[in-house]
Structure 1
């Protein structure tokens, strides 16, 4: 039996390097989104493997996700996996375990596809007074998704047929990856921050010099955990309905960066709006965002609560897919 997203209870599950992100859509009810922190990519280097401990954390979370889906009567579940799963030498074995839990095999998406889905999700998600951002922002729009293992960039416009991407790129810079690689002192040493910033800029430059489309962007939209956390710290609380569509000036982003980068972790965790699970990786995430804003000359950015999970669920509704097996194992 097949269904379309618009007609039946549906869920998207995005398995990332730092977290598992879900979006539950039950017809007639507000969409429910949830982030579970797993740190799946902890200790993962190029050519390395996911640790048993990290995989165990992720599987435990996915068992909770399956229970939520079953309770909601989900008939359509779509799962994706990104940076950590596609890089790890044991990624396929991990995803086989995931399939045993969820009843569907996650699709491992490329960096380019992750960037495109983030673009679609960012500009079509609805929340609070922000509504759908796509048609209200001057184009071209650059959407930046700072993840745990990679950062995705996509530039394009929203047209009558929906979001359309002109160019996309995936950078091997991420909040978990760069925390483990560069930020070892507590608080980080100036030279550690300098390394993190300079490597991010060099990696970004490789993309900017090869594709002029990125430099033509008129509006910067930021999505995912790092973006929402920076906005929440500036706001002083985490509230999706307020964060969606929130504008942050470059000065505000720089101020949050300076504050968090100069605090020890124990002090940093007392900032209102900062989730405890992001205390140790948010500084690297800040490094990435401030580098992008400095290098590309953006005076402000706009926050969207939409991301890959929103893009996946939107596009899944355009085609029939067999219902997952959500019964007890």
Structure 2
């Protein structure tokens, strides 16, 4: 039974489970906001951000070892782009004995797509958006091929950017290029998407079964954005469905999704719970059976 730990720009997540006859059985899941991407636009991981993230990773490794010794730890945008990446990789190795995998943007997109296909199998060749704190990954079909692309525009990166319009223009320019191929159904995964679904559903307690497959139309997305943006931060932190520690970045993540849908002339999105954690777990299971495709 494999376990995966994902060090994202905003949060650290752990998922432990197994596949049997094509169905996933979850044993353990948790999430903590550590924001290793604090100050992401400086190009360096801050010492205090590394330390608080390391503490959570060690805790998650200890918990995962109650179930399995087959544990993978990987990191995405913030660590990928950091000039002091090696320092953090060494910290993880020293504290856990596990070598941290730093995913490329394309690998991140690939695993997210696999996760969506596993969790929403009834969708035929969906386009996928994986929006994180530091980057956004796009997966789409073009001339019979599945293409993956990562763009360095994320909720934390946009919030901290001095030139916010410049980042959004970068995003719009890219989406404009793939618009002929980026068609519905569109699935959005990542913390922004699942949080927006929880807000739309007014969930006092997060329920992945209700979030999975929830549809949000573009006009409703704009309504949610405008409502959240109008609230002072202390009031926003009380909104049902919104984790208080995500209240500062949610308006920026929502803005990014609105820009994507508007530029691509899409009517809305489907929220997916299965993302790169599930995709990576599946690959580990298949690889163990010596059948796994390699990137």
Q: Give the TM-score normalised by the residue count of structure 2.
A: 0.89
Could you tell me which residue of structure 2 aligns to residue 175 of structure 1? 155
Could you tell me which residue of structure 2 aligns to residue 33 of structure 1? 29
Q: Equivalents in 1 of 2:61, 2:30: separation in Å?
A: 13
- Picking from 10, 14, 24, the partner of 1:22 is 14
Q: CA deviation at 1:177?
A: 0.9
Instruction: State yes or no: 1:258 paired with 2:226.
Output: yes
Partner SS for 1:317: helix
> Where in structure 2 are there 5+ consecutive unaligned residues?
290-295
Q: Give me the CA root mean square deviation.
A: 2.1
Q: Equivalents in 1 of 2:138, 2:19: separation in Å?
A: 31
Q: Give the aligned length.
A: 282
Could you tell me which residue of structure 1 aligns to residue 51 of structure 2? 56
Partner SS for 2:107: helix
Q: CA deviation at 1:49?
A: 1.6
Give the alignment of 1:243-322 within 5 angstroms.
243-320=211-288
Partner SS for 2:255: helix
Q: Equivalents in 2 of 1:260, 1:66: separation in Å?
A: 35
Could you tell me which residue of structure 2 aligns to residue 145 of structure 1? 130
Instruction: State yes or no: 1:81 paired with 2:75.
Output: yes
CA contact (8 A) 1:21 1:33 kept: yes
C-alpha change, 1:313 and 1:150, in structure 2 (3 Å) is same
Task: Give every structure 1 segment of 4 or more consecutive aligned residues whose post-TM-superposition deviation is greater than 4 Å.
Answer: 26-29, 209-213
Partner SS for 2:35: coil
Could you tell me which residue of structure 1 aligns to residue 293 of structure 2? none
Q: CA deviation at 1:222?
A: 0.5
Partner SS for 2:37: coil
Instruction: State yes or no: 1:67 paired with 2:67.
Output: no
Q: CA deviation at 1:75?
A: 2.5
Q: Give the TM-score normalised by the residue count of structure 1.
A: 0.80
CA contact (8 A) 1:200 1:288 kept: no
C-alpha change, 1:70 and 1:138, in structure 2 (3 Å) is closer
Q: Equivalents in 1 of 2:103, 2:180: separation in Å?
A: 23
> Where in structure 1 are there 5+ consecutive unaligned residues?
1-8, 126-132, 158-163, 183-194, 322-329
Could you tell me which residue of structure 1 aligns to residue 173 of structure 2? 206
Partner SS for 2:65: helix
